[in-house]
Amino acid sequence: MADREKFELESEEPADGGGGGGRIGDNVNGQKGEPPRPELPVGIENIPDGGLELAAAMEAADYQPVVLFGNAASGKTSLLLSLLAITRTETSLDTGVFLGDPILRSDSEYGRYLIESSEDFFGRKTQDFIEGKAPPASKMDLPFFVPIAFRPRLGREVKFAFMESNGEWYRPDRDSNRLFRRLKGQIEDFISNYQGGIIFIHLVPYTQRPVHGANPDPADDASQINEASLAISGALQAYESVRVNKRNDRHMMLVTKWDAHRPSDADRLDALTDHKEDVEAIVQNRYAAAYNSYRGLSLEPSQLSMNGYCAGLMNERGAVGLRKDDELRATVVDYPKNMWRWLYKSALANVGETAADPFPSTETGSWLGRKVKAFLDKLF
């Protein structure tokens, strides 16, 4: 994919057509069991205009929506939590991230559901991720958006709204003639009605199993990867059929759990670095259905990107803690850092502003750390 940039935008206008203690993911002993998720108000599943309301409200409040598609265990929740976590643990970013104003008013049932769900995600779940607790499987009944105010010191504030959804909604339906499920009503209505540019991230995990844990049957992993490929293919076909104004949309196909692609490599720094040729080869080999649907979108090449992603060195219990003097830590941190860069530049481009790097340049750290940073900066 030589004509597609990794985590960066073309300069021209889009075509028409670890915690505060200094460690990431330090493991802690928490109480067993998951706190109750926000209750779904009676009858809310029948709300007919949830997506339409969301689209109108986000446009009025200047929110940049970020929609994530991916099957169960694809890493959607871990990706979002890693983005929020890095803004709390990395002081060098010099960037503030705050929970934004509610998208819908609290006097509606859906509005209250959105507020409670986003507060839980931004607060407790993000802190749990920082402290090394494994993110729970997403089991919500309706999609919700987490409103975020992103405030870099060297750039203007951008308001993002990140969509969290249940991966089971995208799983192919083998008992149906159509196989590919329709998008959840609120998601379909939102995509159909939102008039500005939407950022889409399509998650295709390198493996469906934990990277640094027990290894189940490889045949079962291959079967689940096939299901994940069909899930993304179905979501892309739904997007193509319901989305009318695609001119300012941006898409990223992301190979999550990237640290699994060379798990036995002695040079962990090199193994974690994602070369674009390796990423595309893996997608073509493992996700043929998703890859062909992605390449077939009626979009310009500059609107499409492909990359690997590592939300952290994860096992069944959560993120493995890395000390600040660990050379590997800088490489892991670069993934959410560069994703923020791509999101920020995409959001600015969608409103006709010049792309800018939200993070200041630093030259601190060891010689090897600076070399790795320079290499990653060249890639991105």
Encoded amino acid at 45, one letter: E
As a whole number, mean pLDDT of residues 177-189 equals 92
Residue 13 pLDDT more than 50? Answer: no
As a whole number, mean pLDDT of residues 213-233 equals 79
pLDDT of residue 304: 96
Residue pLDDT, tens place only, 233-279 = 999 999 999 999 999 999 999 999 887 766 554 455 555 665 678 89
Residue carrying the six token digits 């409200």: 57
Residue 220 pLDDT more than 50? Answer: yes
- Residue 130 in tokens: 């920082």
Mean pLDDT of the chain: 80
Given phi > 0 = left and psi -120 to 50 = alpha, else beta, which region is 19? Answer: beta
- Residue 126 in tokens: 């993000």
pLDDT of residue 281: 92
Residue ranges of E strands in 248-311: 250-255, 304-308
Say which DSSP state 10 is in. -
Say which DSSP state 51 is in. H
Residue pLDDT, tens place only, 114-137 = 999 999 999 999 999 988 887 777
Residue 371 pLDDT more than 70? Answer: no
Domain boundaries 44-379, CATH class: alpha beta
As a whole number, mean pLDDT of residues 81-109 equals 92
Q: How far apart are CA 255 and CA 266, in angstroms?
A: 21
Give the other-Cβ count within 10 Å of 137's Cβ. Answer: 12
As a whole number, mean pLDDT of residues 54-68 equals 96
pLDDT of residue 12: 41
Residue 87 pLDDT more than 50? Answer: yes
User: pLDDT band at 309, cuts 50/70/90?
Assistant: very high
Residue 102 pLDDT more than 90? Answer: yes
As a whole number, mean pLDDT of residues 316-339 equals 70
DSSP code string of 185-243: HHHHHHHHH--S--EEEEE--S-SS-TTS----HHHHHHHHHHHHHHHHHHHHHHHHH-
The two beta strands, 314-315 and 318-319, are: antiparallel
pLDDT of residue 195: 94
User: pLDDT band at 300, cuts 50/70/90?
Assistant: very high
pLDDT of residue 40: 46
The two beta strands, 95-99 and 144-152, are: antiparallel
User: pLDDT band at 315, cuts 50/70/90?
Assistant: low
Residue 365 pLDDT more than 70? Answer: no
pLDDT of residue 207: 86
User: pLDDT band at 177, cuts 50/70/90?
Assistant: confident
As a whole number, mean pLDDT of residues 35-49 equals 49
Residue 31 pLDDT more than 80? Answer: no
Lowest mean pLDDT among 13-17, 204-208, 254-258, 260-264: 13-17
Sketch the domain layout of the chain as residue ranges: 44-379
Q: Do 326 and 333 form a contact (C-beta atoms < 8 A)?
A: no
Residue 88 pLDDT more than 60? Answer: yes
pLDDT of residue 257: 87
